[in-house]
Every structure is written in C-alpha cells, then in structure tokens.
Structure 1
Amino acid sequence: MRKKLVDSHLTLREKILETIREAILKGSLKPGEKVAEPELAERFGISRTPIREAFRQLESEGYLTVIPRKGAVVASLSERDVEEFYAIKSVLEGYAARMAADKLSDRDIERLETINDRLEKLAREGDVKNFFRVHSDFHEAFIRASGNDKLLELISQLLLKFNRLRMASLSLPGRMEVSVQEHRKLLEAFKARDGELAETLVTKTAAFGGQQLIQSMAQKEGRPFEGSILHQVGDV
C-alpha cells in the first residue's frame, strides 16, 4: 500500500510539472507572472507540499524563480541566456563527440541508430515531450562513450539547469526533423571514426539550435533578428 501511495504521489507531481512547463512554453504563463499555489492545490485536490516540491524542480530547470515569502514566478528568458548556454553546450558536447568517435563500438553505434529511428517516428508524430526525452538519451549515449565521467557530469548539470531552453528549441517548427537529419550525419562520422568531423557537426548543430531560438524570441517581440555570438561557432 505504501508503494502505491508513493507511485501515485510521483504521478501527480509529474502532472503538476507538465502543466506548468506547458503553460510557460505556450505563453499562457509569461515571464514575471506569479504561479499561484492555491489555484494548483485546488485544481489537483492536494496540499501545497507536493506543489512546492514541483516548484523547486522547475526552478532547477530554469522555468521558475522562487522568491522567499513571495512565491514562485516565471523566470525571465533573455537572448544572453540562450547565447551563453548554447555556446558552452556546443564546446562541451563537441569535445565529447570527438572523444567518443574512437571509443564507440559497432554495437553502440547500432543503438544510437535505433534511438534516432525512434526520434524520426516521434518527429513525424509531432510528439515533442517524448522526442525531448529520447533526444537526451541519444546525446547521453555518445557523451558517456567519451569515457570522461567528469565531462558527463558537467554536461548533465548544465542541461538540467537549462531544460527550458532545450525544450523551447525543439518545439520550434521543423526543429525535430533537423535534429534527426543532423544525427544521421553524426552517425556517419562515428562509423568513419572521424572525431574531427563529429566535433564539427555537434558544435554546428548546437549553434543552430541556439540561433533558431533567438530568432523565434525576436519574432515574438516584433523586432528583427540581428544575429548573435553563436554565429562565431557556426551554422548548418
């Protein structure tokens, strides 16, 4: 009975997380807007404790800012946040890809191909949520294959803190399809054991994702896209 209660609690907590994430990504909740605990408690018929737990997780992912004695508000998202995150991501994941090229076994590459086939199906279905999860599995697999545990830990911490940016980027029209295509090119580089090419592909793909997100932000604000420091990294 205890296990069932715990499982039920986790499921409900996940529903709260998804509800808030979706509202922020769709713009129903805007930067600076307060996320009311009482309304969520009434909607889900629960106490405020699991809601506060969800708030803490969403804060760690960059969705919310929890202010003592004031509650949670939607975190602001700036172009500089996007630029800095994707610039760092491109360098770290690019290095991981270079190191992984010589270490991935044929079986590892087959597994990556299977994951990418799954991503292609999810892209056709427009399933961003599951695409995001499986996409993370693809990248974690080759980063882990680099053999550098500290690098894996560093990238994992970085990605968790900026989950909101990654989800927002993958939600852009056509972005999932581009990701699948770029993964195919990366897989060919891995098969050829070409670490330099693998690094270049991962670096450019990360930069492209950041540029697309910044362009989307500019369009929503009704101003022209003037480029970013990510152009120094590259484009695809």
Structure 2
Amino acid sequence: MEKFKSLKDHVYDYIAEQILEGKLAPEQKINESVICEKLSISRTPVREALIQLSSEGVLKNMARKGFVVKALSEKEVAELYSVIGVLDGYAAKLAVNNLTDKDLANMDFYIESMDLAIKASNFEMYHIQQIAFHNIYLQECGNETLIDTIEKMKSKLLKKSYVDDEKGRTKEILLTTNEEHRKILELFKKKDGEALAKYLLDVHWTQTYAEFDAII
C-alpha cells in the first residue's frame, strides 16, 4: 500500500526530481518562490522540504544566499557508492524469491531499452530506464525503511545528465554497466541471493563508476 504523502513530501520529491534530471545544477540556488508558484502551495511545506534535503546532505544552507544544491567531491561519491552497494545488495537478496516472471521480463525489457538509449546517445532516457530496472526489485524487497534509505542516498548523486566525449568514454562505460545489468538479471533468474548481494557490492557499485559519476 502506497504511503500517504504530505505537502512537504511532494515538494521533496519535486526538488529531488529536478536535481536528478539536471534541471537544478550543483551550486545553484533554490528559488523558493518559483517552487511555491509551480506547485501552488504556501512557503511552509517548501521550507520544510528544503530543511530535510539539507539535513540529508542534498542541499546546503548558506548564510545570506539560502539553499543551494550541494556539489559532491569524488571522495563523497565513492563513499556513497560503497554504502549503496551494501544496501542495494541486501535489497536484492531480500527480493530474490519475490520476483514474478513478469518482473523478470520487464527487467529484460529495460536492459534492451538501455542499450538502444546508450547507442543513440540519449543518456537521459538511459537514466530513466536504469532507475526503472533497479526499482523492480527494490519495490519487492519488502522493507520500506531500506527502500527509503536507498532512494535518499541515490538522490545525493546529483549529476545524471551525461555528455559523451570524443573518445566515446561515456558510451563505453554505460554499455559495460548495462552488461552488469544482464548479469544481475541472470542471478535473479537463478535465485542466487548471496551472489547477487556480492555482485552488486563488488562489481556494480564500484570505485570506477564512482569516479565516473563524480567527473562526468
């Protein structure tokens, strides 16, 4: 059952989405008045959401400037990856016996969609599809606190609008990442929870991709 969302929750989700889609960039000031007008709400829930995002390290509250999107250092991104790897692996292990044939088919569909998006340099679509891929098993892990924690930690990974360089490094890395998605799906089909947890920690959420996420 979907939990009730307060006005503050809706504002929180809206700001997080703006960050993830690259519409709010690192070090950019949050315009409270624009959010109030856009969502047709008062300033109170907006302030509450901003304070929560600040306490979670997504935003920072600067004197005389207000709330701005926090830019993460390479070290901070690497630390996030290492913790998310543990939590995501645990979620996969919990979900391994809960996925239906339809769930597995949907995961396969998202993998193929990601390949097409990468080859077309549509990195925004890639990001949308990879979120959908991971959300299938996250939503089936049966632990709402775990899901909420993972989502909040992922929201700190601000830069999700990739631009390929002349050497095609972005495409190369994302295609490699998508091959990992195929391996994850294979392990789900085998119902091997231990191997899934280890693979997500040791391979999928690694230092290499943390560095990539920090600089692209």
TM-score, structure 1 as length reference: 0.62
Aligned residue identity for 2:150: I
Bigger fraction of residues in helix: 1
Establish whether residue 65 from structure 1 lines up as the match of residue 60 from structure 2: yes
Displacement of 1:91 in angstroms is 0.2
Residue 200 of structure 2: aligned partner? 202
Residue 191 of structure 1: aligned partner? 189
Displacement of 1:116 in angstroms is 1.4
Change (3 A) 1:35 1:144: closer
Instruction: List structure 1 runs of 4+ shifted beyond 4 angstroms.
Output: 34-37, 46-53, 59-64, 168-172
Residue 22 of structure 2: aligned partner? 21
User: Which one is further off, 85-94 or 64-73?
Assistant: 64-73
Residue 233 of structure 1: aligned partner? none
Indicate the SS of the match to 2:128: helix
Displacement of 1:118 in angstroms is 1.3
Establish whether residue 214 from structure 1 lines up as the match of residue 215 from structure 2: no
Displacement of 1:48 in angstroms is 8.2
The one-character-per-residue Cα deviations of 1:14-64 (angstroms, maximum 9, x if unpaired) are 9xx47x93684xxxx7x6xx6596xxxxxxxx96855996x959x669665
The one-character-per-residue Cα deviations of 1:215-236 (angstroms, maximum 9, x if unpaired) are 685x89xxxxxxxxxxxxxxxx
> Which of the pair has the greater relative contact order for Cα pairs under 8 Å at 6+ separation?
2
Displacement of 1:78 in angstroms is 1.7
The one-character-per-residue Cα deviations of 1:191-224 (angstroms, maximum 9, x if unpaired) are 111112211221123432x43343685x89xxxx
C-alpha separation between the residues in 2 aligned to 1:176 and 1:106?
26
Percent identity reads 23
Aligned residue identity for 2:197: E
Residue ranges of structure 1 left out of the alignment (5+ in a row): 1-12, 38-45, 221-236
C-alpha separation between the residues in 2 aligned to 1:188 and 1:47?
45
C-alpha separation between the residues in 2 aligned to 1:193 and 1:122?
28
Report how many residues are paired.
190
Indicate the SS of the match to 2:158: helix
Displacement of 1:80 in angstroms is 2.8
Establish whether residue 128 from structure 1 lines up as the match of residue 126 from structure 2: no
C-alpha separation between the residues in 1 aligned to 2:187 and 2:97?
10
Residue 90 of structure 2: aligned partner? 95
TM-score, structure 2 as length reference: 0.67
Query: What is the RMSD computed on CA atoms of the aligned residues?
Result: 4.0
Q: Which has the larger radius of gyration?
A: 1
